[in-house]
Amino acid sequence: MELGYDVVISNSRGPETLAGLVAELGPKARAATAAEAAAAGDFAVVTVPLKNYKDIPVEPLAGKIVIDTNNYYWERDGRIPELDNGEATTSGLLQEHLPESKVAKGFNHIMASQITTDGTPTGTENRRALATASDYPEAAELVTSLYDEFGFDSVNIGLLEDSWRVERDRPAYVVRQNAQELKDNLAKATRTI
Ligand SMILES: NC(=O)c1ccc[n+]([C@@H]2O[C@H](COP(=O)([O-])OP(=O)(O)OC[C@H]3O[C@@H](n4cnc5c(N)ncnc54)[C@H](OP(=O)(O)O)[C@@H]3O)[C@@H](O)[C@H]2O)c1
């Protein structure tokens, strides 16, 4: 909101349960159902426990860029064999669920609270960097531009099939790193943990 975006937020329980958060966020925020929020946005951010990704509305997100923050916590999400055996990625699963959308991985390897506290202006020495990946260049470009607005450099991993490099328990996951350190950590990652 501080960056000027109008935001429509949703959850699983219904918009009325978000009244307190909307009041806290101010006049540029409102609450809606997930389907309404998906329809309202120029782009969408999906941040739900991964086990619920198939609840994300498909049709209202067709043609839109969808930023996927999700991570796989098998303790919470249950075992997902395609992830356990290295045949899929978390963002790839969301892309399969949203075939007409343009999914980009973003903001998954930074604590939520740090998104608004760790940013620094473009060109700052040792600026923190975050990774993205997408099968659609325009989706990766949107994440890169948002990262810069929030105060972060960006490293583009490439396609979603390579986005496992920034998933949970890899060297780049939730550590503070500049762009070169992030590139090095992405290169060090192994497919199976
Ligand atoms: N927390 C972080 O710092 C952080 C950072 C980076 C990435 N992530 C990733 O982001 C995802 C969400 O994490 P979180 O910590 O934000 O989890 P959380 O605190 O459990 O919040 C999840 C939100 O998703 C909503 N939700 C759950 N199921 C839904 C559904 N079927 N339809 C619509 N909304 C639904 C919940 O609404 P209700 O409360 O109404 O159920 C809640 O608002 C995870 O994959 C996590 O790994 C988290």
CATH code of the domain covering residue 150: 3.40.50.720
Q: Residue 125 Cα, ligand 1 centroid: separation in angstroms?
A: 33
Report field, pTM of the whole predicted structure over 0.95: yes
* Per-residue pLDDT at 1: 65
Q: Residue 126 Cα, ligand 1 centroid: separation in angstroms?
A: 30
Residue with the nearest Cα to atom 21 of ligand 1? Answer: 48
Is the residue at 17 inside a domain?
no
Residue with the nearest Cα to atom 43 of ligand 1? Answer: 11
Is the residue at 145 inside a domain?
yes
Is the residue at 65 inside a domain?
yes
Residue with the nearest Cα to atom 30 of ligand 1? Answer: 12
Q: Residue 190 Cα, ligand 1 centroid: separation in angstroms?
A: 27
Rounded to an integer, what is the distance from CA 69 to the centroid of its chain? 2
Is the residue at 18 inside a domain?
no
Is the residue at 125 inside a domain?
yes
Using alpha carbons, list the distances in angstroms from residue 49 to 68, 74, 159, 184: 11, 10, 23, 29
- Which of 7, 45, 48, 77 gets mutated to test ligand 1 (max ligand atoms within 8 A of its CB)? 48
Is the residue at 33 inside a domain?
no
Residue ranges for the chain with pLDDT beneath 70: 1
Under 8 Å between Cβ of 34 and 57 = yes
Q: Residue 160 Cα, ligand 1 centroid: separation in angstroms?
A: 21
* Per-residue pLDDT at 192: 80
Count structural domains, the chain. Answer: 1
Is the residue at 16 inside a domain?
no
Is the residue at 193 inside a domain?
no
Nearest Cα to 65, choosing from 145, 161, 134, 162? 134
Q: Residue 12 Cα, ligand 1 centroid: separation in angstroms?
A: 10
Under 8 Å between Cβ of 162 and 107 = no
Domain range holding 56?
Answer: 42-188
**Ligand 1 site, CB within 6 A:** 10-13, 34, 47-50, 52, 55, 69-71, 107-108, 111-112
